[in-house]
Amino acid sequence: MDLSDLRNQMIHSVKKGIKEEYTESDLHIIKSINLVDAMDETVNLLTEHLREWHAIHFPELNQLVNDNEKFIKLVAELNERKNFSFEKIMKVIEDISLAEKIALKAENSAGEETDKNALNEMRSLAENINALKNQRKQIQEFIEKEMSRKWPNYSKECGSIIGARILAKLGSGKKLAFSPSSTIQVVGAEKALFNYLKKGGLPPKYGYLFAHPLVQQAKKTDKGKTARKLAGKISIAAKKDYFSEDKPKSKIIQIPEMREHSFFKKEFKERKPEFKEKDSFGKGFRDKGRRDFGNRGFKKDFGSRSRDSDNRGFGRDSGNRGFGRDSGNSDFKRKSFGDSDRKPRFGNSDRPRFGDRKSFGDRDNSRSFDRKPRFGNSDRPRFGDRKSFGDSDRPRFSDRKPRFGDRDSDRKPRFNDRSPRGDFDKKPRFGDFDRKPRFNDRDSERTPRFSDRKSFSDSDKPRFGDRKSFRDSDRSSFRGSSSNSKFKRKSSSRKPKPNKTKFKFKKN
Amino acid sequence: MNSRLTELFDGVYSFNSVILTKNLVPGKKVYSEELFHFNKEEFRSWNPNKSKLCAGIKKGLKNFPFRNGSNVLYLGSSEGTTVSHLSDVIGLQGKLIGIDISTRAMHKFLFLCEQRPNIFPVLGDANTPGEYRNKLEGIKFNVLFQDVSQPNQAEIFNKNAEMYLSKNSLGLIAIKAHSIDSSRKPKEVIEAEINELEKKFEILETINLEPFEKHHALIVGRKK
């Protein structure tokens, strides 16, 4: 059938294509670097199992030996408690103190006497874990060999393992050669990258390149820069390796290594301008405090101030303060501490400190009450200064009649004799204090309060308190006003009236 | 819950809200599906979480152009989970040509091909349909199905339809919004792709594949 021929041809061509792609590919590197990570995890898992299992027989060993390698060696070679003598342990581990402790505890151990079958299984497990560890080392060597064989320049720039990880993530050597340096910089931090792309914020500075020694040694501010520049050089090297036809080691092109790069040769000073001090808090002050004035000058200008928190025992703030016993003409007298003077350091700057101030600016000179008071400003009204609040008419002590003994002369000052200060008779307002209003802070023109209300709304409904009279709306007052006898209420009006007809008869 | 075997389309059945296809090679499984037996016939269950066509059927697909004897061009066949069900539907008289770019997936696809005689494999890039023109000479295609995850999905669809698909025949495409642009909203992305498809296709259905797949859409169109 034509169809079957066609089909066979297609299958054949597919197999050919697969073979072409698999020959001389980077798949061995990719698979092996994935294997290395998986092996680390499995080795850790198996050692945990071994520890818990062996602890049934010899629990003290599990507690004493924290290092996994030593533990596995001991179990692999000396399995049973009987074999744990000092000499035998020293052959396996070269640690005297540990060996002593183990040998002691082996005699009186809390574990059971287990069968040989179980112990044999434990021993074989320990041997297999050792074999896995050795294989992991071999695989790492294999990776390094392959990378240096296929990607010599690339593996020289970034290490063989970091290079293999980047290769594995990208998928193939072609993608590595065709990808820009920004992807190489960020490979490994995809989660952060796509979060940045979707939501915004700051992008990641490095991915797998974080493990590179140059990036790790750099300062915090320079880590991103080093990663970026490294990635640029790495991409050049990868392109060189991919597009060259012969790759023997003799043809490696000398790309200038990062350490010789001019970026790293500059020191801190050359890169940034010198830290210049301001004159107001600069050397002038500094010298004054140390040499000329002594104790008084320092404290007068800046108040008392405890330097103990800033004194670290070294640096600018330690040592001679310029006053006290240690000041004066002594041979040990440092005027500057070298670079630390200029460089900004913690505790180094002469910035004004919280405890120094007595006053700031113009606010101290004027004593107006309208301006906002500040902490330390002695002009603000204080709670105890008030004389009266509100319209309360209650009698006060100051209203009492003068008594014998209240003589004006030679009188000691009394609470009520104090004079108002400034605009003090004005009642303090809510905005003048930085504290919440208190019950006694009521104003004369006081804000309306809940208890002041006479009506809740604009309703015109008459209220009980609005009434002027019980009977007639004409009557003005309840009790009656004496001014107008017309509207005077008679007491008899309340009593029940007898049925009397009014008649008057007048007689001449 | 239908406890009866009902036929939804030609060759596609449903039983108790499980979608089934009649097994072309009785007794053999392709992936982790289950085998059902009714009236001495074997059926394979179709998983909507793995296959986008099945998810579309569950969400109410009306136009199902796969029939006994139809020729299908399948772009992005990968390991062959959906392809196996389509080959059940097509039968021995139909042909399904599966195209994929990855060698790893083709490796497993070859085992499928040896099992079923109506599947034809091609290792190639769907972006350049001229690559495999010689292999597909003389075959007239009834349906075009696409399930690739590339940023220019609509473009690929249009190119292949121009070359291989005959007029007034249907094409189905599963669009993955994240593979086009993961930072934009999926609705905007899908609308943009539909605008591109409308140059060559008259769109009949657009189905949202939630909760089976996130930010995916299945689009059915008839070629102009």
Smallest CA–CA separation between B145 and chain A, in Å? 20
Task: Tell me if A18 and B135 make a contact (CB, 8 A cut-off).
Answer: no
B105 touches chain A (CB under 8 A): no
| Nearest CB to A17 within list B95, B117, B123 | B123
Cβ atoms of A228 and A185 closer than 8 Å? yes
Burial A191-222 (b: 16+ CB within 10 A, else e): ebbeebeeeeeeebbbbbbeebebbeebeeeb
Burial A419-440 (b: 16+ CB within 10 A, else e): eeeeeeeebbeeebbeeeeeee
Q: How many CB atoms lie within 10 A of CB B214?
A: 11
pLDDT at residue A354 greater than cutoff 70: no
Q: Which amino acid is at A490?
A: K
How far is A49 from A361, CA to CA, in rounded Å?
73
Task: Tell me if B183 and A17 make a contact (CB, 8 A cut-off).
Answer: no
How far is B80 from B95, CA to CA, in rounded Å?
14
Task: Tell me if A198 and B107 make a contact (CB, 8 A cut-off).
Answer: no
Confidence tier at A46 by pLDDT (50, 70, 90): very high
Residues of A with CB under 8 A from a CB of B: 3-4, 6-7, 9-11, 13-15, 17-18, 21-22, 194, 197-198
Task: Tell me if B182 and A17 make a contact (CB, 8 A cut-off).
Answer: no
Backbone angles phi, psi at A362, to 5 degrees: -80, -15
pLDDT of the residue at A287? 45
pLDDT of the residue at A389? 60
pLDDT of the residue at A258? 46
How far is B203 from B59, CA to CA, in rounded Å?
17
Beta sheet of B6-9, edge-to-edge order: B6-9, B12-15, B18-22, B41-46, B35-38
B183 touches chain A (CB under 8 A): yes
pLDDT of the residue at A266? 53
Among A312-316, A338-342, B32-36, the minimum mean pLDDT is found in A338-342
pLDDT tens-digit series, residues B102-117: 999 999 999 999 999 9
Give the pair of three-digit tokens for residue B210: 């939630």
Task: Tell me if A6 and B135 make a contact (CB, 8 A cut-off).
Answer: yes
pLDDT of the residue at A383? 66
Q: CA nearest A130: which of A78, A70, A87? A: A70
Question: Across A332-346, A362-376, A377-391, B69-83, which has the greatest mean pLDDT?
Answer: B69-83
Confidence tier at A366 by pLDDT (50, 70, 90): low
How far is A449 from A196, CA to CA, in rounded Å?
54
Delimit the domains of chain B by residue range.
6-46, 52-223
Residues of chain A positioned with their CB less than 8 A from the CB of B106: 14, 17-18
How far is B42 from B23, CA to CA, in rounded Å?
6
Residues of chain B positioned with their CB less than 8 A from the CB of A8: none
Task: Tell me if A15 and B110 make a contact (CB, 8 A cut-off).
Answer: yes
Specify the fold of B52-223: Rossmann fold (3.40.50)
Q: How many CB atoms lie within 10 A of CB A167?
A: 24
How far is A293 from A283, CA to CA, in rounded Å?
14
Q: For A6, which residue in chain B has the nearest alpha carbon?
A: B135
pLDDT at residue A151 greater than cutoff 60: yes
Backbone angles phi, psi at A384, to 5 degrees: -80, -5
Task: Tell me if B103 and A15 make a contact (CB, 8 A cut-off).
Answer: no
Q: How many CB atoms lie within 10 A of CB A3?
A: 12
Average pLDDT, chain A: 74
Cβ atoms of A244 and A161 closer than 8 Å? no
Give the pair of three-digit tokens for residue A297: 């000058």
B90 touches chain A (CB under 8 A): no
**Window B:33-52, CB contacts with A under 8 Å:** none
Q: For B112, which residue in chain A has the nearest alpha carbon?
A: A11
Residues of chain A positioned with their CB less than 8 A from the CB of B120: 6-7, 10
How far is A422 from A371, CA to CA, in rounded Å?
13
Q: CA nearest B79: which of B97, B56, B104, B96? A: B104
pLDDT tens-digit series, residues A240-287: 998 886 644 444 444 554 445 555 555 544 444 545 544 444 444 444
pLDDT of the residue at A494? 59
- Cα B45 to chain centroid distance, Å, stands at 16
Q: Which amino acid is at A69?
A: E
Bridge partner residues of B171 (DSSP): B144, B221
pLDDT tens-digit series, residues B131-146: 899 999 889 999 999 9
Greater model confidence, A293 or A35: A35
pLDDT at residue B130 greater than cutoff 80: yes
Give the pair of three-digit tokens for residue A67: 């290092």
Percent of chain B whose predicted confidence (pLDDT) is above 70: 99
Confidence tier at A293 by pLDDT (50, 70, 90): very low
Cβ-proximal residues to B108 (8 Å cutoff; 6+ apart), any chain: B79, B80
How far is A268 from A245, CA to CA, in rounded Å?
43
Q: How many CB atoms lie within 10 A of CB A377?
A: 15
Task: Tell me if A10 and B120 make a contact (CB, 8 A cut-off).
Answer: yes
Residues of chain B positioned with their CB less than 8 A from the CB of A7: 113, 117, 120
Among A402-416, B92-106, B165-179, the minimum mean pLDDT is found in A402-416
pLDDT at residue A371 greater than cutoff 60: no
Q: Counting one residue from A and one from B, how many pairs have CB atoms under 8 Å apart?
A: 38
Task: Tell me if B106 and A11 make a contact (CB, 8 A cut-off).
Answer: no
pLDDT tens-digit series, residues B181-200: 887 889 999 999 999 999 99
Strands B141-146 and B71-75, bridge-based pairing: parallel
Q: Kindly state the average pLDDT of the residues B148-157.
A: 92
Residues of chain A positioned with their CB less than 8 A from the CB of B78: none
Task: Tell me if A198 and B183 make a contact (CB, 8 A cut-off).
Answer: yes
ipTM: 0.88
What's the pTM value of the predicted model, to 2 decimals?
Answer: 0.55
Confidence tier at A415 by pLDDT (50, 70, 90): confident
Greater model confidence, A357 or A76: A76
How far is A90 from A98, CA to CA, in rounded Å?
9
Q: Kindly state the average pLDDT of the residues B81-92.
A: 94
Q: How many helices (H) and strands (E) does chain A have?
A: 19, 0
Residues of chain A positioned with their CB less than 8 A from the CB of B107: 18
Residues of chain A positioned with their CB less than 8 A from the CB of B117: 4, 7
Task: Tell me if A198 and B182 make a contact (CB, 8 A cut-off).
Answer: yes
Smallest CA–CA separation between A208 and chain B, in Å? 23
Supply the Cα-derived Rg of chain A in whole angstroms: 47
pLDDT of the residue at A250? 40
Please tell me the class of the B6-46 domain.
alpha beta
pLDDT of the residue at A111? 85
Task: Tell me if B121 and A197 make a contact (CB, 8 A cut-off).
Answer: no
Smallest CA–CA separation between B114 and chain A, in Å? 9
pLDDT of the residue at A28? 94
Residues of chain B positioned with their CB less than 8 A from the CB of A198: 182-183
pLDDT tens-digit series, residues A81-129: 888 889 999 988 888 999 999 999 888 888 888 899 999 999 999 999 9
Q: Which amino acid is at A179?
A: S
B107 touches chain A (CB under 8 A): yes
| Nearest CB to A11 within list B95, B121, B183 | B121
Task: Tell me if B135 and A10 make a contact (CB, 8 A cut-off).
Answer: yes
Backbone angles phi, psi at A456, to 5 degrees: -80, -30
Residues of chain A positioned with their CB less than 8 A from the CB of B135: 6, 9-10, 13
State the residue for tokens 């287990």: A114
pLDDT of the residue at A114? 87
pLDDT of the residue at A316? 64
N residues, chain A: 508
Supply the Cα-derived Rg of chain B in whole angstroms: 17
Rounded-to-5 percentages of helix, strand, coil across chain B: 25, 35, 40
Residues of chain B positioned with their CB less than 8 A from the CB of A15: 110
Greater model confidence, A279 or B63: B63
pLDDT of the residue at A237? 94
Task: Tell me if B103 and A21 make a contact (CB, 8 A cut-off).
Answer: yes
Task: Tell me if A11 and B182 make a contact (CB, 8 A cut-off).
Answer: no
B73 touches chain A (CB under 8 A): no
pLDDT of the residue at A294? 43
Cβ-proximal residues to A315 (8 Å cutoff; 6+ apart), any chain: A337, A340, A345, A347, A348
Average pLDDT, chain B: 92
Strands (E), A107-171: none
Q: Which amino acid is at A491?
A: S
Q: Please tell me whether residue B219 adopts helix, strand or coil conformation.
A: strand
Task: Tell me if A11 and B113 make a contact (CB, 8 A cut-off).
Answer: yes
Among A10, A22, A25, A174, the strongest candidate for a mutation testing the B interface, having the largest count of B CBs within 10 A, is A10
User: Cis peptide leading into B211, omega within 30 of 0?
Assistant: yes
pLDDT at residue B44 greater than cutoff 60: yes
Among A130-144, A164-178, A284-298, A304-318, the minimum mean pLDDT is found in A284-298
pLDDT at residue B37 greater than cutoff 70: yes
Strands B201-208 and B18-22, bridge-based pairing: unpaired
pLDDT of the residue at A337? 53
Task: Tell me if A14 and B121 make a contact (CB, 8 A cut-off).
Answer: yes
